[in-house]
Amino acid sequence: MTDAIELLALESLLSAEERAFADSVRRLVDDQVRPHVAEWYESGRAPVRELARELGKLGLLGAHLTGYGCAGVSAVAYGLSCLELEAGDSGVRSLVSVQGSLAMFAIWKFGSEEQKQHWLPRMAAGEAIGCFGLTEPDHGSDPAGMTTRAVRDGDDWLLTGTKMWITNAPVAELAVIWARVEQGITGFVVPLAEPGVTVNEIGNKMSLRASATGELVFDNVRLPASAQLPGARGLKAPLSCLTEARYGIVWGALGAARDCLETAISYTRNREQFGRPLAGFQLTQAKLADMALELQKGYLLALHLGRLADAGQLQPEQVSVGKLNNVREALAIARTCRTLLGANGISGEYPIMRHANNLESVLTYEGTSEVHQLVIGQKLTGLSAFA
């Protein structure tokens, strides 16, 4: 199969270590995801706990974090792993993103040493799965309006509220929950086996069907003072976690796009119409060329952001540029590839419609396209258009 990334020999921009890490992830996806993912998607069930342990063995959970059993790889290497994972399925990359860049990162960045020692090694190994509760039924793009609250009761906290569309929730052991307190917004590490916690799995999804998604309901859940993330103060704390996860999406969307494009190239080379391969027609080649061009540009953008991150210079609005562009273009590539396969494009025998459906969710989660446009617009003008 043609490697669409190699049109401009972009892998020559990577170090030997980065290429080796990406190759190891690709082998894992080829061995443990591709043979089964169509069935997972069809059934709406994936072996998330088993997958997490295999991902942990390769150091992919919290890969870019240091200490506590985490691999401590570069931002570029972590991004490449997201690309390879999402080439398998967005749901698999979402499992890794939520575990490492949201739940683990929140504890690593804002948690106490006790919290880090207790949770991070087990999470890095895939032995404990975490989730991240910011979105609520009535507050998605406007997290500042959250209604989940925690109030003091002696030395403890009482947590009440609902979080919605929470990846990993149905299989998670713990949740990082953001709540309003008297002083503002803060985070808590909440074991989901606590009395008063209800986890409802969200079914009937048309997208991300190989990912576990749920609703978390907290009814006066009693938490000790030690459950609070001591370093998390204000909305900037959860938003910084989202920036971490959005960076992975910048790379991950390219994986879905690459898989669609490579599938379309292979299909059109072998599918004959009017006496010759579809790939031999000018209109087909024009579509393939345009899609390959956008894939190369998206890869260069992701790599640039990764180098900035490794230099400690990456800014949130730059991540917004990456997510806005790469997810939008990946979805366009998936849709165009579907047309090249005709009716076969909607068949589960091929991955394209599954990727396209998944990317519809990726387009709007962790910041809709409109939110990222406004982040960029505020940076360009110095004026906020959010309110």
**Is 17 annotated as catalytic?**
no
- Composition of the chain by helix, strand, coil, percent to 5: 55, 15, 25
Element (H, E) at 130: strand 130-133
Catalytic residue of the set 182, 349, 366, 370: 366
Gap between the Cα atoms of 332 and 73, Å rounded: 31
Separation in Å, CA 253 to CA 81, 96, 261, 331, 380: 12, 14, 12, 8, 25
Taking a C-beta distance cutoff of 8 angstroms, is the pair 132, 172 a contact?
no
Type of residue found at 34: R
Alpha-carbon dihedral angle through residues 296, 297, 303, 308, given to the nearest 10 degrees: 170
- To 5 degrees, how large is the angle CA 295–CA 299–CA 302? 140
Gap between the Cα atoms of 232 and 134, Å rounded: 13
For helices 16-32 and 48-57, angle between their N-to-C axes, nearest 10 degrees = 150
In the block, which residue shows the tokens 């990726």? 362
The two structure tokens encoding residue 340: 């090249």
Compute how many other C-beta atoms are within 10 angstroms of the C-beta atom of residue 346: 14
Taking a C-beta distance cutoff of 8 angstroms, is the pair 363, 369 a contact?
yes
Which residues are annotated as catalytic?
366
